[in-house]
């Protein structure tokens, strides 16, 4: 039967909508004005004057719930990670594999296929971060696992698979013809862990690159005579930039400057979450290295950043508190904009008739969360 959520403020594409919405067959059937009654037989839920927000879409989820995707590239691992993040408003996510062997990449892609076929809540595809990265910008990635884009790896990446495939690479290490082949195979290309010049990035943008992974981190900065990856990213109006807003990965003042340089609908929040996200863990193992938690971020024994323990709800709160963004803008950076980057909108990331009923019910501080995926409450 249809489910009717009433007595709410709904964040619709045109702004805040006072009233509610109707869910039918797992999708949004209609937005209701305030005071509109339900039809006989409808299941009516009064949300108590709380907010109904589009579900959060996270493009970079290395782990959560105590699980690292690299360690458990299987259906059970994906399900556990998704469950941990769903508790904090994430309704679509890409389990993210950091640099690893071609064999592990194949296993991870097969696991994502299986999870999608089995309708594991929230899984929308895979993010393969590496291994075609710059040695000098590897960050916490294991240098021994980095490699060039050889014929075998290219074939694995271009195979047809279910859901979205997002690939982070260093564009200076990839031939233009290979960028074009990846893009023609439907792979979404993002620059990251790169030592490229601005000219090299601009060439890649002309041949399939459309995004930048965790802007500012592990990429060449802007200087007086070389804009670098950062400068090329901010100068390009169409590409999307992922932002880690935890107060440490990038100084909030720098992020506020970035938001003034290009259209704001090209910035999206990411968690870059590690296994401790959604848990009380204070330490975990990353490919043989001990990683500890400091506030919202993770560091190795040398103090090098190694992802975060952010959830999307916390990332949205940080964006309002640290970047002075209105709540509706921060929410769109966590839902609509990443969905558009991945080609998932308007089915995901928007509260419009016809979209999947993926939504978050919360108070203005994003507390007391309820998460619904496909019209059912999952957290």
pLDDT tens figures, 152-184: 999 999 999 999 999 999 999 999 999 999 999
* 235, 241, 314, 356 from 51: Cα distances, Å: 35, 27, 16, 18
* 204, 226, 300 from 294: Cα distances, Å: 36, 33, 10
Q: Closest Cα to residue 318, out of 76, 19, 88?
A: 88
At 255, list the tokens: 């992020």
pLDDT value of position 1: 85
Q: What angle do CA 298, 324, 282 make, to 5 degrees?
A: 15
Kindly give the residue spans of alpha helices, DSSP state H, lying in the chain.
Answer: 75-86, 102-117, 151-158, 176-184, 198-206, 228-235, 252-259, 312-322, 327-334, 336-342
Residue 299: what are its φ and ψ, rounded to 5°?
Answer: -140, 155
Rounded CA separation 311/207 (Å)? 33
Position 35 pLDDT exceeds 90: no
Span 125-139, average pLDDT? 98
Q: What angle do CA 41, 54, 35 make, to 5 degrees?
A: 45
pLDDT tens, residue by residue, 11-27: 999 999 999 999 999 99
Q: Where are the domains of the chain?
A: 3-53+363-377, 56-348
pTM of the complete model? 0.97
State whether CATH 2.60.40.1120 applies to domain 56-348.
no
Rounded CA separation 90/88 (Å)? 6
Which residues are the active-site residues? 272
Reduced to 3 states (helix: H, G, I; strand: E, B; else coil), residue 62 is coil
Span 126-142, average pLDDT? 97
Confidence band for 37, pLDDT divided at 50, 70 and 90: low
More confident residue, 369 or 31: 31
For residue 297, the surrounding DSSP H or E stretch is strand 297-299
The greatest distance separating any two alpha carbons of the chain, rounded to the nearest whole angstrom, comes to 68
């Amino acid at each position: 039967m249809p489910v009717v959520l009433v007595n709410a403020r709904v964040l619709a594409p045109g702004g805040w909508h006072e009233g509610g919405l109707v869910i039918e067959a797992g999708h949004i059937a209609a937005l209701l004005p305030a005071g509109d009654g339900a039809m006989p037989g409808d299941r009516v839920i009064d949300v108590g004057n709380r907010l109904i927000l589009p579900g959060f879409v996270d493009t970079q989820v290395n782990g959560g719930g105590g699980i690292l995707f690299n360690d458990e590239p299987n259906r059970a691992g994906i399900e556990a990670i998704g469950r941990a993040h769903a508790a904090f408003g994430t309704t679509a996510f890409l389990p993210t594999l950091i640099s690893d062997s071609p064999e592990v990449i194949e296993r991870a892609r097969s696991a994502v296929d299986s999870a999608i076929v089995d309708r594991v809540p929230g899984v929308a595809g895979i993010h393969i971060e590496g291994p075609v990265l710059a040695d000098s910008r590897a960050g916490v990635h294991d240098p021994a696992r980095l490699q060039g884009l050889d014929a075998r790896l290219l074939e694995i990446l271009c195979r047809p698979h279910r859901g979205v495939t997002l690939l982070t690479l260093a564009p200076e290490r990839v031939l233009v013809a290979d960028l074009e082949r990846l893009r023609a195979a439907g792979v979404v290309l993002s620059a990251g862990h790169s030592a490229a010049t601005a000219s090299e990035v601009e060439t890649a943008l002309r041949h399939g690159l459309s995004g930048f992974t965790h802007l500012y981190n592990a990429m060449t900065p802007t200087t007086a005579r070389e804009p670098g990856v950062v400068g090329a990213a901010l100068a390009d109006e169409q590409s999307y930039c992922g932002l880690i807003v935890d107060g440490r990965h990038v100084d909030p003042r720098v992020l506020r400057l970035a938001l003034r340089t290009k259209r704001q609908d090209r910035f999206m929040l990411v968690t870059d979450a590690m296994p401790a996200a959604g848990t009380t863990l204070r330490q975990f193992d990353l490919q043989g290295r001990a990683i500890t938690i400091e506030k919202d971020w993770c560091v190795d024994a040398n103090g090098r950043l190694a992802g975060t323990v952010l959830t999307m709800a916390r990332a949205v709160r940080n964006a309002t508190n640290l970047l002075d963004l209105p709540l509706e803008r921060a929410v769109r950076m966590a839902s609509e904009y990443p969905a558009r980057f991945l080609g998932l909108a308007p089915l995901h990331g928007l509260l419009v008739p016809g979209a999947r009923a993926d939504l978050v019910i919360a108070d203005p501080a994003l507390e007391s969360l309820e998460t619904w995926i496909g019209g059912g409450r999952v957290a």
